[in-house]
Amino acid sequence: MTVEPTEVEAAAARTIFGPRLDLAHAYAQALATAGVERGLIGPREAERIWERHLLNCAVLQELVPADVELGDVGSGAGLPGIPVAIARPDLTVYLIEPMLRRTTWLREIVTELGLENVEIIRGKAHIVAESGQHFDVVTSRAVAALPTLAEWSMPLVRKDGQLLAIKGDTAQEELVAAAEVLTALGAASSDVVRCGESVLDTPTTAVRIVAGRQGQLPKKKAASAAGKKAPGSGAKSRAGSSGSGSRAGAKRASSSPGRRR
């Protein structure tokens, strides 16, 4: 099965992915074939790979500063992390995913595409947070309702960093529902933003939360973590085993966890 974008989608893809458009095509093809066969996306999604998955996710990069580390929580088939990494080779993108079959897929596709700016961490978000690792930007899509997602993801965000969660029409409602949780987690500000308005017929809606302090585990999880050895080196060794390039590894080595570069 060959998946080709419509004329409108192709024009948007050229703008978003630029000289790395071939990588986006290869990723779309992999999602529509092996991704469906292995249960990473539904069979009905194959016909709307470009609009619903690649372009919808890639435009999130408009909100991401240059040359930063980005953690993609609950990455699944690599969404939104891989489209963002293709569009923005200046970023170091960590795909955070607990399920073995999904991380196996992610390692395979990252190697196949030769994405030297992508690494993989197999683990749940709170386990990565227990290791002391933090990111300038943390992204997610279709992982959980915002109050729960914030509890999982905000501990991973560096001070003044951002949590960017792709949401739909309920974004504002979820933001209101999460207000108390966000205050407790040290959020400095939050808003609903739309990305890709100049290139997409239907822009992507996202919630943006700026961290007012270095990410910290909620008290219950922190107390639980204090009683056992933090797996900091383990999380990083798993990331390094993804087959990603030396450039990303060098970036990580030069930036100690929990300290903004």
Instruction: Tell me the residue ranges of DSSP E strands in 112-221.
Output: 118-122, 135-141, 157-167, 187-195, 204-211
Q: How does the average pLDDT of the chain come out, rounded?
A: 86
Residue 245 annotated as binding site: no
Return left, alpha or beta for 7; rule: phi > 0 is left, psi -120 to 50 is alpha, else beta.
alpha
Domain that holds residue 68: 59-245
In a domain, residue 254? The reply is no
Q: Determine contact, residues 125/73, Cβ cutoff 8 Å.
A: yes
Over residues 99-132, the pLDDT tens digits come to: 999 999 999 999 999 999 999 999 999 999 999 9
Q: Which two tokens stand for residue 174?
A: 């979820």
In a domain, residue 229? The reply is yes
In a domain, residue 52? The reply is no
Rg (CA), the chain: 17
Residue 149 annotated as binding site: no
In a domain, residue 183? The reply is yes
Residue 23 annotated as binding site: no
In a domain, residue 220? The reply is yes
Q: In what order do the strands lie in the sheet with 135-141?
A: 118-122, 92-97, 69-73, 135-141, 157-167, 204-211, 187-195
Task: Tell me the HSE value of 52 on the side-chain side, using a 13 A CA sphere.
Answer: 11
Over residues 204-255, the pLDDT tens digits come to: 999 999 999 999 887 665 555 555 544 443 333 333 434 444 343 334 333 3
In a domain, residue 20? The reply is no
Name the strand (E) or helix (H) holding 93: strand 92-97
| The total number of structural domains that make up the chain | 1
| Domain of residue 167, CATH code | 3.40.50.150
Over residues 27-46, the pLDDT tens digits come to: 999 999 999 999 999 888 88
Over residues 151-199, the pLDDT tens digits come to: 999 999 999 999 999 998 899 999 999 999 999 999 999 999 999 999 9
In a domain, residue 231? The reply is yes
